[in-house]
Amino acid sequence: MSLIESEHYTDTQQKEFVSAVTTEPPVFDTKHVRPWTGTQKFAFRAAFTYVVLMCIPFTAKYYTYIYNLNWSNLYWSDLSSIATNVSAPQFVTIATESGRWGLASYANLALTLLTSLVIAALWTIIVRAKKTEREEYNELYYWMRVLVRYRVGFAIVAWGYKKLIPMQMVFPTEGILTTSIIDMQEQKLYWQSMGFVPNYQSFLGLAEFLGGFLLLFRKTTALGAALTLVVLANIALANHAYDGGVHISSFGFAVLALIILAKDLPNIWNLLVKEKDVIPTTYYPDFSAAWKKYSRLGLKTVGLIVFVGVLLYMQWRDFHNYRLPVTPGLSGAKGHYAVTEFKLNNTPIAFSPDDSIRWQDATFEEWSTLSFKVNRKEKMDQSNGGSIRHGLGGVHIDIDRSWENASIGGGRHFFFYEVDSVHHQILLQNKNTAHREEKQVLNYTRPSDSRIILSGRNEFNDSIYVVLDKIQKKYPLSEEHREAGVY
Amino acid sequence: MSTEVISENNIEVKKEQDEKALYGLYHWKNYEKIIFRITFVFLLLMTIPTEPDWYVHTWNYDWSNIHWNMLYDISAAGRIPKFVTIPTESGKWGIASYANLFLSALFATVAGLIWTVIVKAKKTERKEYNQLYYWVRVLARYQVGFAIVAWGYRKLVPIQMMWPPTDILNTPILHIQEQKLYWQSVGIVPHYEMFLGFAEFLGGFLLLFRKTTALGAAITTVVLANIVLANHVYDGSVHIHSFMFSFVALILLWKDLPNIWNLLVREKDVTPQVYYPDLSTPWKKYTRLIVKVTALLIFVVLEFVLHLAGEFEYRVPGARGLAGADGYYQVSEFRLNHKILPYDPYDSIRWQDVIVEKWATLVFKVNRKETIDQSNGPALKATGGLVKDIDRGWESSGVQGRHFFYYTIDTVNHVLHLQNKNKSHRAEKQVLHYSQPSNTRLIFSGINEFNDSIYVVLDKSSKKYPVILQGRPEGSY
């Protein structure tokens, strides 16, 4: 006896229960079962071509890069860039401002889409002409999804790791802390506002990681795709708003995630919004043959170990050797200094916010960077201050690690220095690639813990004498959020 | 290769599932009923205003001067019963600030258990709570929905995070509190702020319709959970309310989670159990329709119109500043009691720079500490509308290094009457005569906050500050 018959339900109760008991036929997800419609087949051909163009690198550079890597001494980004290099083929290069930040930067994505549509049309015409058109593409669709799942999954896991281990947005340096909001570019302010809250950055990284990681397993694909879509779409918008420079990659990933999710969207809609019964149908290739089973298991395990396990270890290992120089600076000098006295060619110069030579303030870092503010502009380095040697592998030498000086204006100048502790001398060079010819040689004396006296030749070959006094006061930005390198 | 095919067999399976679903709907298990009773009490505590102030304010609102924050307070304020007040730092930012939520949960648990004991003892226990469950969901959906729509509007019309005042733009980030820095980093990108507002609005709006409840609850849970975390790390102080909304949204989503999991992860057939009360009699039908439409008109449509009609820079004084004078000034000359003081970054009296905002705030830098105002600089008055100009503290709270004076202008005698905006230093007042010999020069003379005579010549900085203002053309900055 069925459960329903064993009970008496009032008419109201029957009316209240609006599930499709008898009134409506269940919604079957039939697209894998029945022959596909013409539209479905065309859409598949276009999506397939698009995914292949996006996910498989077609330039020799990608492969020579991998071949040439120093495998005995791998840096984390060497491995990570193999995973994250998912992009549209470079049909065109547009060197304008719009090509870098604006609408024109989408040109290659648009051309990829266009190419896919053309190929899909040709494909359709050919198979129809030859009368070899298939009824469905279940098998190919499955493998297309595998390709895009793994490419996007590993890439987003790698992106997530850069925040999970909070190295992408570093703690504000003394030089940046001393800079007014108006003197930095939007992206710098945005990233720094994340940089001083590493726990939050780790959480954002976890959200990315989770989306990518879930894509690596068939059963959690839909959850991973939904999470990746939402997180990456937000990143794309934020990168537009702040001119962060990775809007194209983020948008590309978001679209690929949407392609993955497309299969489940009708089911989700039917279940949640239309409150109908849903019967999903799923196609798997037959993996029961032993060689298939073990190849699959072997490939998957190796992929996971390398791009999820080893990569995490390497990022942890290289945590503090990334955006900022690692050469130690003058010991114990780290801080923000007032310029108490300044002589140019033995003439004292009074403080003036309009002076182009007289320093207004100075900062020392734990590493060997000195910054000072004068009323003189530099050509701005508009990059994000990346430290990765793109296409070559490894990390830049200290002077080229430009996070701390990129996108900072307002007359603050950043000099890398080498300490000659025998002669109490520092040899300085401007970090800005547009002003590398600026060099200084300064002797230092440290009469007390809080005072540093510099004297020697400045970048214009004039003699200078500078007395710096460390400013010690309480700041509203709390100590825990300012201690670079201490987590 | 395994594909499923529609067959008679599937139809049979389907029928069985439906029967089970129907049976389950009218025969709740014991633990389901206990959990329901606890959740029911908890949701009432979260959604019904318990603060007497809420009722007093709502009753006393001056509706002829309607302001968006009145509607906002009706839909979002007065909630979470105040069992205790913990004035420690942890009570404001940390774990102790969750005390009232914990106590609400505890109260709900005890009440739910007592309810269970009573109905069991009296042998009046029901087989199911479909009806009550439906209505408490309606209550929670509308409360959270309207509240989050209102939250979203404040970013969708990008006024919550305003463009940084000239002072904040000219302050090194070291001198700015976390929350302010975070909000200003959003304030410089109004389009992105609008998108964030739209995400909030969408979550809240979808909660207002039964069919889209699950989507709305999912968006609200995720967006608000992120706001909770951001408010913790930046000490933004709305973590409790965000947590409450996020948690209630999760409770609303709870019903659908097993189905989502079964469909997406386990790839199983899913039969949703859906219950609606019978609202087919005309009076029920039209009552529902009228109540719903009215509420939507007020809290969605009117609320939006009021945001558009309201002050875009509501966080700073509404009174206009000295005409044509706004800008960043260097102090070319400063006399204290007729004696010239040279520039000195350590001087506690001699101004180092001056900012005249578009609104009636004069800001100057000297080397003298003030007790910092750690609030978010709220500008909304609990009794409706905005607080007085001098109390709108966005520009000065959490910012160090400068002193902020609100002023009124006597245009006949060319005199400014200034008063320190900082609540701890309100006693400081100045009376300064002003003259503008040229477009770029401003001269003040009069009595400063220590009753000394000062004479100040200000020259508008010719220096361009193009970095954050000009997008991304290449060049020297």
- DSSP strand pairing (B429-438 vs A361-364): unpaired
| CA pair distance B39, B50, nearest whole angstrom | 17
| CA pair distance B50, A379, nearest whole angstrom | 59
Q: How far is CA B108 from the centre of its chain?
A: 27
Q: How far is CA A411 from the centre of its chain?
A: 29
Q: What is the pLDDT of residue B21?
A: 78
Q: What is the pLDDT of residue A75?
A: 94
Residue of B nearest to A193 (CA): B182
Contacts with A10 (C-beta within 8 Å, 6 or more apart), sequence order: none
Q: What is the pLDDT of residue A243?
A: 85
CA distance B348 to chain A (A): 15
CB contact under 8 A, B20 and A3: yes
The answer on pLDDT for A33 being more than 70 is no
The answer on pLDDT for A484 being more than 70 is no
- Of the candidates A26, A186, A382, which has its C-beta nearest B474's C-beta? A382
When mean pLDDT is compared across A168-172, A175-179, B39-43, B442-446, the lowest value belongs to A168-172
Instruction: Report yes or no: B373 at the A interface, CB cutoff 8 Å.
Output: no
CA distance A392 to chain B (A): 26
CA distance A15 to chain B (A): 7
- B310-323 residue pLDDT tens: 999 999 999 999 99
Domains of chain A with CATH codes: 27-317 (no CATH), 335-481 (2.40.128.280)
As a 3-state breakdown, chain A gives helix, strand, coil percent values, each rounded to 5, of 45, 15, 40
The answer on pLDDT for A32 being more than 70 is no
Report the predicted TM-score, pTM, of the whole model to 2 decimal places.
0.91
Q: What is the pLDDT of residue A14?
A: 60
The answer on pLDDT for A154 being more than 50 is yes
**Run of H or E residues at B23:** helix B8-26
- DSSP strand pairing (B453-460 vs B441-447): antiparallel
Average pLDDT, chain A: 89
Contacts with A428 (C-beta within 8 Å, 6 or more apart), sequence order: A370, A415, A416, A417, A439, A440, A441, A442
- Of the candidates A180, A199, A354, which has its C-beta nearest B169's C-beta? A180
CB contact under 8 A, A279 and B398: no
**Residue A4 — pLDDT band, cuts 50, 70, 90?**
very low
**Residue A31 — pLDDT band, cuts 50, 70, 90?**
very low
Nearest CA to B439 out of B458, B411, B418 is that of B458
Task: Considering only residues A97 and A399, tell me which one the structure prediction assigns the higher pLDDT.
Answer: A399
CB contact under 8 A, A267 and B263: yes
Q: What is the pLDDT of residue A264?
A: 94
Q: What is the pLDDT of residue A20?
A: 41
Nearest CA to A189 out of B95, B169, B71 is that of B169
Q: How would DSSP label each residue in B285-352?
A: HHHHHHHHHHHHIIIIIIHHHHHHHS-TTTTS-SSB-STT--EEEEEEEEEETTEE----TT-SSS--
CB contact under 8 A, B26 and A284: no
| CA pair distance A262, A280, nearest whole angstrom | 13
CB contact under 8 A, B176 and A476: yes
CB contact under 8 A, A279 and B4: yes
- Of the candidates A19, A181, A353, which has its C-beta nearest B271's C-beta? A19
| CA pair distance B26, A379, nearest whole angstrom | 74
Domains of chain B with CATH codes: 8-309 (no CATH), 327-460 (2.40.128.280)
- Residue B113 phi, psi dihedral angles, 5° rounding: -70, -40
CA distance A231 to chain B (A): 11
Residue of A nearest to B174 (CA): A177
Both tokens of A143, joined, read: 């493998």
CB contact under 8 A, B353 and A353: yes
CB pairs under 8 A between A and B: 261
- A192-220 residue pLDDT tens: 999 989 999 999 999 999 999 999 999 99
CB contact under 8 A, B467 and A182: yes
**Residue A10 — pLDDT band, cuts 50, 70, 90?**
low
Instruction: Report yes or no: A19 at the B interface, CB cutoff 8 Å.
Output: yes
Instruction: Report yes or no: A334 at the B interface, CB cutoff 8 Å.
Output: no
Residue of B nearest to A2 (CA): B19
| CA pair distance B323, B341, nearest whole angstrom | 28
Chain B partners within 8 Å of A480 (Cβ): none
- Residue A151 phi, psi dihedral angles, 5° rounding: -65, -50
Residues of chain B predicted below pLDDT 50: 1-8
CB contact under 8 A, A200 and B233: yes
| CA pair distance B206, B216, nearest whole angstrom | 4
Q: What is the pLDDT of residue B474?
A: 62
CA distance A303 to chain B (A): 22
| Helices B190-207/B213-233 angle, 10° precision | 130
| CA pair distance A232, A372, nearest whole angstrom | 38
Q: What is the pLDDT of residue B198?
A: 97
* Of the ranges A9-13, A151-155, A404-408, B14-18, the best mean pLDDT one: A151-155
* C-alpha neighbours within 13 Å on the C-beta side of residue A190: 22
